Amino acid sequence: MASHFEPLKGGGAAVALDEVEISILRSLAVQLLELIGPGDEPADGEDPLAALFAEGPSEAPSDPALARLFPDAYADPDPEATPQDDELLASSAEFRRFTENDLRSRKRDDAMAVVRSLDSLNAAGDGGAVLELDADECLHWLGALNDLRLTIGTRLEVGDEDENEALYRLPDSDPRKPMVMAYLWLGALQETLVETLMS
């Protein structure tokens, strides 16, 4: 998996992907959509405008990967919290209540853009295709690649660089090895997309 993004004339980016890469990226994006959830659509007969102003949750998600995607704005929970920490937690809860629904929607849009662009590829005869993204699609891809890396990194418990060295040298027999390889590959894709957009 050595795919990397390159700039397109007139803006945007392109990357050559083989069938396996397309399948992996699509599968990961769909899993991300499942993790984030479907969102709150207005029920039949309800005012869709009112749904725009619906309040979100005030507590952080219990799933560590979701908590990483939707972190507290001001403070992490501390078992030995001081009154000042309690105020920060209350502010975080209030911030989450008014912003998380929009953030979830944006993350769903990013992941759906990845799925749609991969589905629109016409595979070449050799089992691969060149994916061309316009500027807006590139931004969706950057968001989704970042969210995928955060999610996989959380599942792998990626921490300090010293700890990561052991993770990156896992034997092929370790069940975490495919996730580590996906994490590294997504990082390389994200890096080359950023470099392409900045060139």
**Residue type present at position 64:** P
What's the CA dihedral at 168, 171, 173, 176 to 10 degrees? -10
| pTM tops 0.85, yes or no | no
Domain that residue 53 falls in: 6-198
Residue 102 included in any domain: yes
Q: What is the CB neighbour count within 10 angstroms for residue 47? A: 9
The answer to whether position 88 is within a domain reads yes
Digit-coded pLDDT (tens) for 161-178: 666 777 778 899 999 899
Between CA 92 and CA 87 the distance in angstroms is 9
Per residue in 66-123, pLDDT (tens digit) is 888 888 776 655 556 555 666 766 666 777 776 778 888 999 999 999 999 999 885 4
Residue 62, in any domain of the structure: yes
Q: Is the pLDDT of residue 125 over 50?
A: no
**Domain for residue 1, yes or no?**
no
For residue 162, being part of any structural domain is answered with: yes
Look at residue 27 and give its three-state secondary structure: helix
Q: Structural domain tally of the chain?
A: 1
